[in-house]
Homo-oligomer: A and B are copies of this chain.
Amino acid sequence: MSEYVTQPLHRALQRNPERPMTICGDRVRTVRESFDRIARLAAGLQKIGMKPGDRVGMLSLNSDRYIEYFFAVPWGGGALNPCNIRWSAAEVGYSLDDCDTQILIVDDKFTEMGIALRKASKSLQTMVYAGDGPVPEGMMSYEALIESAKPVADARRGGDELLGVFYTGGTTGFPKGVMISHRAFVASSVAVALEGVIPRDSVMLRATPMFHMADIAIGFCGMLMHATHVVVPAFSPVPVLETIARHRVNAALLVPTMIQMLVHHPEAAAHDASSLQSLVYGASPISEQTVVDLQKLWPHVRLSQAYGQTEMAPVVSLLGPEHHTEQGRAAGLLRSCGRAAACVEVRIVDAHGNEVPRGTVGEIAASGPNMMTGYWKKADQTKIALPGDGWLRTGDGAYMDERGFIFIVDRVNDMIVTGGENVFSAEVENALSAHPAVGMVAVIGIPSEEWGEAVHAIVVPKQGMTPAADELIAHCRKLIATYKCPKSVELRTELPLSGAGKILKATLREPYWKDQARRVA
């Protein structure tokens, strides 16, 4: 029998049925109870039309029911399609219709959007309400589905079969459905678990959004390690700090923006986080300062950075606790996203797929059993990401040092080619960020007859500040080469962000490039 995601459930039931599997607010469910509910929910989903391979969506904040959904759909033979809760109804609707999802589960928070989606959607037929209030008209009750069904046997869907379609593409425009097989998903989680980031019989925090592959994978690591999952509906500093203290949480995944909120929160140090042993961060770039601040707040916690993308289910590389040290910092390793994870190979390649010398910037290519199958019905984009040589192109620009540490410099698409020189937007952004009036900043390439592309900066000033363009450019000249400095600067009040908190540079570039095609890296 091959790899399949429901396997750790069977093992958990065999060895420790009375262990709490999920804690969600005051609701505690044991492994036995969860197992039973999952087997019933699978039956219920079959009853309302889920056939082998059919996608089932979930649009919800984090909850114990989200974890049940994750297992019940493959248990009943279906495939997952978790919806990005930060997207607009139009974007979610696109992703549901794109892969023909007919059943959608919503919680209280997304009931209204669910009703709107069903009206607009071509594929949606059945809505399931997984909230705690009265069941809205026209929806089925999640709890009634479970109560009325008899448990079915696990379909043991696995191996190369589709685990789910996971939509991504926040930073590059149109959402793409990443097809991930059971085997790929299990391989990725195993690679993370091999780093020892989740202690055995762990109590782990689930505070990152459960639609996101990073959370799904760390959650599955927890299942491999027989964890109890302590679920927080959505991240907020104080509730998370209270949850860690109350349940003696010992492992967690957090994204950089969450860590920033924690380290800057005045009450953070007042909460007992002595139980916390291991913290993984990732899913978007982090500043060295944030890591250092985190180490000051929780000096006893082993930190690991995970870098990846949905297309790698998601892990590519890891920077372990052994490098989160004073020595590691001095060696610049806190600016690295680590080295190839177990079962993954990484190369930095040029546009022809050839490996470039160490220290040279190119595109990160990764290979391993955790690679996606492809993009749902997007053969052209699949071919760009998987050109057929066994290596997935991540779209991230980076160099690798002599010991295999990877340093990301930019999205390949965000690199600016100006007067024949490559400029990494991240470098210019770092220079601008050092100016006292700059809050957020994005640097993009805009069309220029003279330079091909010109370096253009879009700045959100700190409150009450209005820095002059000249002043900002002059500031940059002190820090970086002249050809890298912005040719133009514009001030804005906000920047468009993706669900994962990344700045949507494609959106920023679009008005500039609508009349001409930009080179593709």
Q: List 17 interface pairs A-B (beta carbons < 8 Å), by A numbering.
A: A1-B390, A1-B391, A2-B369, A3-B369, A7-B343, A7-B345, A7-B368, A8-B342, A11-B345, A15-B340, A15-B403, A186-B343, A190-B190, A190-B343, A196-B200, A200-B322, A224-B342
CB distance from A399 to the nearest CB of B (A): 13
| CA of A194 to CA of B340, assembled, Å | 17
In the complex, A516 has a CB within 8 A of chain B: no
Given A224-B194, A322-B200, A403-B16: A369 in contact with B11 (beta carbons within 8 A): no
In the complex, A349 has a CB within 8 A of chain B: no
A289 cross-chain contacts in B, Cβ below 8 A: none
| CA of A60 to CA of B265, assembled, Å | 64
Which of B10, B156, B190 sits near A194, CB closer than 8 Å?
B190
A15 closest partner in B (C-beta): B404
Q: Which of A1-42 contact B (CB under 8 A)?
A: 1-3, 7-8, 10-11, 14-16
In the complex, A446 has a CB within 8 A of chain B: no
A2 closest partner in B (C-beta): B369
| CA of A391 to CA of B193, assembled, Å | 26
A339 cross-chain contacts in B, Cβ below 8 A: 11, 14-15
| 0/1 string, A282-297, CB within 8 A of B gives 1 | 0000000000000000
In the complex, A371 has a CB within 8 A of chain B: yes
In the complex, A257 has a CB within 8 A of chain B: no
In the complex, A275 has a CB within 8 A of chain B: no
In the complex, A488 has a CB within 8 A of chain B: no
A1 cross-chain contacts in B, Cβ below 8 A: 345, 367-369, 371, 390-391
| CA of A1 to CA of B186, assembled, Å | 15
Chain A interface: which size bin? 35 or more
Verify A3–B224 contact, CB threshold 8 A.
no
A358 closest partner in B (C-beta): B14
A191 closest partner in B (C-beta): B190
| CA of A433 to CA of B85, assembled, Å | 67
| CA of A16 to CA of B367, assembled, Å | 19
A196 closest partner in B (C-beta): B196
A15 cross-chain contacts in B, Cβ below 8 A: 339-340, 403-404
Q: Given A3-B187, A3-B369, A15-B340, list of 6 further CB < 8 A pairs?
A: A1-B368, A2-B369, A7-B343, A10-B345, A186-B343, A190-B342
A366 closest partner in B (C-beta): B1
| CA of A340 to CA of B390, assembled, Å | 33
| CA of A471 to CA of B193, assembled, Å | 56
Verify B193–A340 contact, CB threshold 8 A.
no
A187 cross-chain contacts in B, Cβ below 8 A: 3
CB distance from A54 to the nearest CB of B (A): 23
| CA of A1 to CA of B366, assembled, Å | 10
Listed residue (A7, A193, A367, A391) with the most chain B CB atoms within 10 angstroms of its CB = A7
| 0/1 string, A323-360, CB within 8 A of B gives 1 | 00000000000000001101101100000000000000
| CA of A16 to CA of B403, assembled, Å | 6
Q: Which of A395-423 contact B (CB under 8 A)?
A: 400, 403-404
CB distance from A484 to the nearest CB of B (A): 30
A404 closest partner in B (C-beta): B15
| CA of A187 to CA of B191, assembled, Å | 11
A10 cross-chain contacts in B, Cβ below 8 A: 345
A405 closest partner in B (C-beta): B15
| CA of A200 to CA of B8, assembled, Å | 25
A322 closest partner in B (C-beta): B200
| CA of A368 to CA of B4, assembled, Å | 9
| CA of A340 to CA of B368, assembled, Å | 26
| CA of A390 to CA of B155, assembled, Å | 13
| CA of A310 to CA of B199, assembled, Å | 29
CB distance from A125 to the nearest CB of B (A): 34
Given A200-B322, A343-B3: A14 in contact with B369 (beta carbons within 8 A): no
| CA of A411 to CA of B2, assembled, Å | 27
Given A1-B368, A322-B200: A14 in contact with B340 (beta carbons within 8 A): yes
